[in-house]
Amino acid sequence: MATSALTPPPVTEAIAEVLMEFPDNRLLIDLCGEFDRNLADIEQKLSVQIIRRGNMLAIHGEEALQAKARDILQALYERLESGKAVEPGDIDREIRMGQAEKGTGVRDGDQLEMFKGGPVEIKTRKKHVEPRTDAQKAYVQSLFQNELAFGIGPAGTGKTYLAVAVGVSMFISGEVDRIILSRPAVEAGEKLGYLPGDMKDKVDPYMQPLYDALNDFLPGKMLAKLIEEKRIEIAPLAFMRGRTLANAFVVLDEAQNASTMQMKMFLTRLGEGSRMAITGDRSQVDLPRGVQSGLADAERLLRGTKGISFNYFTADDVVRHPLVAAIIKAYDADAEKAMVERNTTRRN
């Protein structure tokens, strides 16, 4: 009598886990966050599961994602060991930057030393600022190393914020004597009419984003005193004509709204011992129809000039609410589709 061979049931392989042990339970509590919100954030963004067992964390998921989660947790724990806090932005930065960066013994005040493969940290009076993406890190490097640096990309990528942070850092360290922040006083698609008050009252609404950035980096009383002493100036682009800006860190924000002549005027204000940061978003030009953007012209004319750097950001570098990146991608995709349709129509 023949016997039929039974097919053995498939062997279900147990999901491998990565175990991490943390010697300081108090730091582990900070690492996990209130109600384990930091672990939940990493789980959601990396599609892994992290289980806490006493002073250990067990990571479940795909092997590559397990390794990435392990590196991120290790980097954040080392951050806590150094006396720093872990905020949601720190988790976001570690995920975006690819792999955890190891310290390189950077000395206070030695800004260029930090670019030799280690983490980048901009020191200001109120907080330390760290780039969250590779593009932001390259941009900060350019701001420190070049006399003129352009930051071009969509809203929310930190172009102006990082430029002001670098300016404050260089001012505190004595590398520059003044900070000068400027932007074109151009209305964003709506007519505001005549504003009440003196000249400062009229232009301050246009300059508010620059005040917001400064307030993040300098104590209120100190900022007010520096503005009163004109060691920090915030003024519309039109006020720059005829000046030579020496020993200063100069930022031109919303540069896409400067005309070609205004951009040339501004760039030629650069004096001895100064640095300039030009930031703008080519997709948000508010100039009257037919007026050429000075930012586009500067890109065309100055690319490749020694001492001038161009740094570009995309929706992937947005560090505001995640929906901002989705919105930018949707508008970019629509603009690209419209361009393809126009080109097809012309060919036909």
Q: Which residues, 6+ apart, have CB-to-CB distance to 13 below 8 Å?
A: none
For residues 235 and 128, state if they share a domain: yes
For residues 294 and 183, state if they share a domain: yes
pLDDT at 176 over 90: yes
Q: What is the CATH number of the domain that holds 299?
A: 3.40.50.300
Q: Is 161 helix (H, G, I), strand (E, B) or coil?
A: helix
- Residue span of the structural domain in which 271 resides: 112-317
Burial (Cβ within 10 Å: 0-12, 13-18, ≥19) of residue 5 = exposed
pLDDT at 110 over 60: no
pLDDT at 1 over 70: no
Number of neighbours of residue 40 by Cβ within 10 angstroms = 13
205 within domain boundaries: yes
More confident residue, 286 or 200: 286
| 77, 22 contact by CB (below 8 A) | yes
Query: Percentage of residues in the chain with pLDDT exceeding 90?
Result: 41
Q: How far apart are CA 44 and CA 49, in angstroms?
A: 9
Q: What is the CATH number of the domain that holds 65?
A: 3.30.1370.10
199 within domain boundaries: yes
The DSSP line for 190-211 is S---PPPSSHHHHHHHHHHHHH
For residues 82 and 124, state if they share a domain: no
Which pLDDT belongs to residue 107? 33
| 46, 23 contact by CB (below 8 A) | no
For residues 198 and 292, state if they share a domain: yes
For residues 301 and 171, state if they share a domain: yes
258 within domain boundaries: yes
Q: What is the pLDDT of residues 300-321, one digit of tens each?
A: 999 989 989 999 998 888 876 6
Q: What is the pLDDT of residues 252-272, one digit of tens each?
A: 999 999 999 999 999 999 999
339 within domain boundaries: no
Which pLDDT belongs to residue 119? 63
101 confidence band (pLDDT: 50, 70, 90): very low
Query: What does pLDDT average to over the chain?
Result: 82
Which pLDDT belongs to residue 283? 85
pLDDT at 12 over 50: no
Q: Measured between alpha carbons, how far is residue 154 from residues 129, 251, 254 in Å?
A: 20, 17, 11
Per the structure, how many domains does the chain have? 2
For residues 288 and 180, state if they share a domain: yes
State the average pLDDT over residues 176-187.
86
225 within domain boundaries: yes
For residues 81 and 130, state if they share a domain: no
